[in-house]
Each structure stands twice: as C-alpha cells, then as structure tokens.
Amino acid sequence: MPLITPQDIAAAQTVISGRLHRTPIQPSAFLSNQTGARVHLKLELFQKTGSFKPRGVLNRLHHMSIEEKSKGIITLSAGNHAQAVAWAAQQEGIPATVIMPAHAVQAKVDATRGYGGEVIQTDGNLLEVCQHVQEERGLTLVHPFDHPDIIAGQGTVGQEILEDVPDVDLVIVGVGGGGLISGVAVAIKQANPTARVIGVEPEGAPTMTRSLEKNAPAHLDHVDTVADGLAAPFVGAHNLAHVQTFVDELVQISDEEIIRSMWLIIERCKVVAEPAAASTVAALLSGQVTVPQGGQVVCILSGGNVDRERLKRMA
C-alpha cells in the first residue's frame, strides 16, 4: 500500500489555500498548568463547515477529472463529512448525493441539504446503498477517509501545526476511520521523527486498535460512543498502513472522560469542541499518555459540531 508524502501534503496546501481557513493554534495556560507541558489547541473547530473534513474533500475534488466532476459525487456519512462534501460540491458547482442513516441528527441532515446536497436516508447498510446509487447514477465516490487525496488534504492540519509550533514534541489526534491521523502523522514524523503522534479511540469504537491487532482493516459489528465523529465501524486499508508506519501509540478513553473534557474546554478555554475533538484533551489528562515535562504538546480540536440539545443532554 503506497504512503503519501510531505510533497502530497504541500500540494494539498496549495489547493486549499484561500478557500479554507488557516485555523489558529491557541496556548492553554490551564492545560499547561495541569500537565507540566506547554499545551496548545489546534482550533480546527473554526474551520468552514465546523470540522477539518473539507480539507480532504477539496483535495480529492482537485484530482478528479472534469468528466467525473460533471457526473457528480456521492458519499456516505452521518455527519461532518456529509456537510463537507455538500459544501465543497456547492463551491464547485458539482451535484452531490449523500447517503445518511435514517437516524442521523436532523440538524446535520438539514445542514447537508442547506449546502445543496441531495440526501438519501436509509436504515439499510449505508455502504451497500451508496454503492447501488453510485453505480446507477455513474457517480464518483468521495470516501470519508480511505483515499490518498483525502489523507493528503487532512495532512495540511499537521503542516500548519509544524508552522506554528516547529519544535512540537507530541501531537494528539482522534481516530475514527483514520483519515486525519494518517495525514497528520506523515507531516509530523517526516519533519521531526522524534516527535510522537498519539491516536485516541473511544472505548466503544476501538476500530484502529483491533485493525492493528489483526494486521488488517477491522469491521466492528457494534460501536457505542458519545463521540459520533469517531464512531466509524471500520477503518480503511490506506489508513491502517499510515498508522502502522507513522503513529507511535493508540490509547482508549471512556465516554465519561470525553464528556468531562468537553466541559473543561468550554469552561476554561471558551471554545466548543465536539466530543470527538475533546477526546484529545481527555487522553492528555487520562494519565495514559507520557507527557513531556516542559515540552510542546498539541491537541487537535478537530470539530465543533455539537448543538444545544446534545449539550443539554450531556450537561
């Protein structure tokens, strides 16, 4: 399985430049005091559509042919990737079809439709429905994570971290399907092999951990976590290969730790991190991660799509 390179990430940076936000990194005095490291938060929750996802999608579209684009794209997602695909397609004037689960959060369905995406909801198997519609309509699949162009696009988050904190010692990243951590790990480890990259999975969706154990992409029959952004029941072959090569360690944390960290971030850092994003701070505070005392630590806050109703239920 070929791995992406820092050059692929640099090219993706050119593709997204001026079209997406160059998100800020913010030091956290509170988390630094708590841990003895110099802790920074990469505020990707300020990204367009509320998560890092459009980075990969724009890069994927850039490498598609005009014919593919004119026929349209399709994807499957319950949330952030759906919105990113619909948004990016609208930007380029491409038709987008999004297969979403019947039980998807209505706000996310509405947001996807709001960007002009055609939403098809199903209580069947998402992947099967997606493949069926894709073939029927001759569409191109924009996979949420298992594609080199997606991985290179998400890697721009890592490149920006290096620009802002060149001497970074530790980067903590949430792991769902593994798109973000694949790209970030390439950027960080190729520039600074002694820096560590640690992935975080919810205890109820340890898909990458299982994949490493069996040395093949695992599919979980059942996932159960408050972190919907990390709830993908499978990882991709590209993602597993990148994680095997570049990621130092995976840790698992509980939903309780995720929720506690989400509120800590709200109260002390004044930003709204969705549970998937708060998982990185939860890992930092969990005692499972060896924190470099006095070192530079970056937690990626990958998205902020959590609404009033869900916050109320988690309060």
The catalytic residue positions are 53, 302
Residue 266 CB, shortest distance to its own copies, in Å, is 5
Q: In angstroms, rounded to a whole number, what is the distance separating the alpha carbons of residues 309 and 150?
A: 31
By CB under 8 A, the count of residues binding its own copies is 20
Given the complex with its own copies, which of 33 and 215 has the nearer CB atom? 33
Q: In angstroms, rounded to a whole number, what is the distance separating the alpha carbons of residues 65 and 128?
A: 25
Given the complex with its own copies, which of 167 and 307 has the nearer CB atom? 307
Q: In angstroms, rounded to a whole number, what is the distance separating the alpha carbons of residues 151 and 59?
A: 9
Given the complex with its own copies, which of 66 and 315 has the nearer CB atom? 315
Bridge partners (DSSP) of residue 249 are: 198
Q: Segment contacting its own copies (CB under 8 A): 84-92, 130-138, 213-221, 263-271?
A: 263-271
Q: Residue 111, interface with its own copies (CB under 8 A)? A: no
Helix (H, G, I), strand (E, B) or coil at 230: helix
Identify the residue among 64, 68, 271, 295 touching its own copies (CB under 8 A).
271
Q: In angstroms, rounded to a whole number, what is the distance separating the alpha carbons of residues 304 and 311?
A: 11
Q: Residue 32, interface with its own copies (CB under 8 A)? A: no
Burial 144-163 (b: 16+ CB within 10 A, else e): bbbbbbbbbbbbbbbbbbbe
Identify the residue among 266, 286, 288, 295 touching its own copies (CB under 8 A).
266
Bridge partners (DSSP) of residue 252 are: 201
**What's the token pair of residue 169?**
């010692």
Given the complex with its own copies, which of 250 and 306 has the nearer CB atom? 306
Q: Residues interacting with its own copies, by CB under 8 A? A: 24, 26, 29, 45-46, 48, 50, 263, 266-267, 270-272, 304, 307-309, 311-312, 315
